[in-house]
Chain A
Amino acid sequence: MSAIEAPATTAAVRVLDVVRRFGDRTVLHELDLVIDRSEFVVLLGPSGCGKSTLLRLLAGLDLPDGGTVEVPRERAIVFQGDRLLPWQKVWRNVTIGLSGSGARQRALDVLGEVGLADRANAWPKTLSGGEAQRVALARALVTEPDLVLLDEPFSALDAITRLHMHDLVRELHRRHGAAMLLVTHDVAEAIGLADRILVMNEGRIGSSYSVCLSEEDRRSSQAREDLRGRLLADLGLAGRR
C-alpha cells in the first residue's frame, strides 16, 4: 500500500479488477467498484457470494490475489458481531484506536451520539445486543474515518431494534459525511438506507441502482415496490412477495 495524496474530487474507494481466491475457488472475479466521497452504498447479495471477502479487502485485513484496491487511510469497519473486548469498560472499547489526551472525552461524545452516554462505564457483557452494536458503531466513528465499512451489522438484531439502528445510521451518515459501504442480504434494509444499491453476482458487481427517494417514499411507494421487485429478481428470487 502506498500513501498517495488524493485530489479533492476523487472517489473514496477505487477497486479495479480485483481477484480473490481460496485454494482453487475464485470468490471475487475481476471485480470493479467505485464509491464517491460521502456516498452511502449498500452491497446486496446472497449468503456466501463474497461480500465479506470484498469488505475485508477494503479494510486492508486481507490482500487481493489480483487487481488493485485503493481506500482512504482513515477507515473503520463494523463487524457482524460487536467484537467488544469484554475486559474493558464500554468507553475504553471505543478508544481502542484512539490515543492522546481527550480520548475519553471523544469517546463520551460519540457514545452520546449513539444514545449510550449513560452506559460508558458499563461492562460490555451487561449490554443488550442492540446496545453492543451501537458501541461498535461509536468505536468506528470515533476516529472520524473517511470510509466506514459495515458487514451485516444488524443481522443479529430483532426487527424493531434494526429499524432504530437504520435511523441512527442514516443520522450518523448525515452528520459525519463519511462514505459508507454496508453489506446486507436484507432488501428492505438496502432500500431504506442506500444512495446506491449494488447487487453482487458470481464474484462481481452484477447490477447497480441509484436510489433517489425521499424517506417517506423509501418506506412505501410504487417506486419502492418496483425497485424491490427488481432487486429480488436480481437475487434470483423473482415472483416472491
Chain B
Amino acid sequence: MTAVLEKPLPTAPRSLEVERFVARAAHRSPVRRLLSRLRWPLGIYTTPAVIVLAWELASRIGLLAENTAPAPTRILHAGYELYQRGELVPSVVISLERAGAGLALGLAVGVTAGVLGGLLRSGEYLFNGVVQILHTIPLLAILPLMIVWFGIDELTKVLLISFGAALPMYLNLFAAIRGVDQRLVEMARSAGASRFRQVARVLLPGALPGFLVGLRFALAYSVLGLVAAELVNADRGIGFLISRAQTYQQTDQVFFGLMIYAVLGLLADQFVRILERVLLSWRPGFEAS
C-alpha cells in the first residue's frame, strides 16, 4: 500500500532560530571554571564566612566595642585559653555525655512508642493522647517542675533532653508509618507477604524518610534542652563555662560557649544528612556512593 500525500508548500519561509546544546566540559575554558569556583568558594558557608570576616574587620577598626562583641580571633583565643587551663575538654565531654544519655533514652522511648503507635491501633490509643498533651507544653516550661521532682542534678538535665528528643521522634515516626502508601501495603498483602514481612519490607522502610525528619528534630531539641538545663544550673559543662563567664563579664568566653553549641548543632545536622544519603539511596535524587 502506497499513499502519496502532497505536502503543502510553506507560504512564506521564515528564518529559523536555532538553539544548540553541547556537553558542558567542551565550552568551559579554565578561566571560566576558576571564576565560577571563586563565586561561591565555600558553598553555603560563604555568607557566614564573609560575615565573620566583616565582624573581625569592624572590631579591629574599633567599630564594635570589645566587651559587647569581641573579634572572632579573640573569641578563638579565649577558647584556646580555656583549653590550656584544662577546662575546655572536660566541659565539652560532660556536656556530650549529658546529651548522649538524654538522646539515647529519648530516642529509645520515642522510637519504640512511635513504632507501636504507628503499627497498632491500640498503640495509637495508648500513646497519642499523652503525646499530644505533652507536646503542647513548651520544653522550657517543664524545667521548674522537673527540678522540683528530680532535683537539680544530672537526672533533671538528662530527662529534659530526652523529653525534647522523644516527642518529635514519636510524632514524626507515627505520622510516617501511617503515611506509607496504602496501595503498597495492599500489594504486599495480596502478594501473600506475612505480617512480619509487610512491616519489615513495606512499613518500616517506607517510614524511613519521616524517621530521619524526626531524628533531625530530636537532635535539635536535645541541644536546646541541653542548653536550657545547663544554663539554669550547672557546676560543670559548657553551660557552666558560659554562666561563669557571664558573671565575670568575659564576653569572649560567652561567645566561645555559644559557638560550641552551634558546632554541636551543625554536626548533628550533618550526621543526619549523611544518614539520609546512605539510607535513602533508592530515591531518584540520591546517588549511592
- Picked from A92, A125, A139, the residue with its CB within 8 Å of the CB of B191 is A139
Count of residues in A whose CB is under 8 Å from the partner chain: 23
Q: Which of A83, A92, A139 has the most CB of B within 10 A?
A: A83
- Picked from B183, B190, B202, the residue with its CB within 8 Å of the CB of A76 is B190
A125 near B282 (CB under 8 angstroms)?
A: yes
Could you tell me the distance between the alpha carbons of A125 and B190 in the complex, rounded to whole angstroms? 22
- CB closest residue in chain B, given A136: B187
A96 near B193 (CB under 8 angstroms)?
A: yes
Given A83-B183, A123-B282: A97 touches B206 (CB 8 Å cut-off) = no
Q: Which of B198-229 contact A (CB under 8 A)?
A: 201-202, 205-206, 208
- Picked from A83, A126, A143, the residue with its CB within 8 Å of the CB of B187 is A83
Could you tell me the distance between the alpha carbons of A124 and B282 in the complex, rounded to whole angstroms? 8
Q: Which of B168-188 contact A (CB under 8 A)?
A: 183-184, 186-188
CB distance from A180 to the nearest CB of B (A): 16
CB distance from A59 to the nearest CB of B (A): 5
- List B contacts of A115 (CB < 8 A): none
A86 near B282 (CB under 8 angstroms)?
A: yes
A143 near B192 (CB under 8 angstroms)?
A: yes
- Picked from A61, A81, A99, A143, the residue with its CB within 8 Å of the CB of B189 is A61
- Chain B contacts to A: CB under 8 angstroms: 183-184, 186-194, 197, 201-202, 205-206, 208, 280, 282-284
24 sampled A-B residue pairs with Cβ under 8 A: A59-B190, A76-B190, A77-B190, A79-B183, A79-B187, A83-B184, A85-B188, A85-B202, A85-B205, A86-B283, A87-B205, A87-B208, A87-B280, A88-B282, A96-B191, A96-B193, A96-B197, A97-B191, A99-B194, A124-B282, A126-B284, A140-B191, A143-B191, A143-B192
- Chain A contacts to B: CB under 8 angstroms: 59-61, 76-77, 79, 81, 83, 85-88, 92, 96-97, 99, 123-126, 139-140, 143
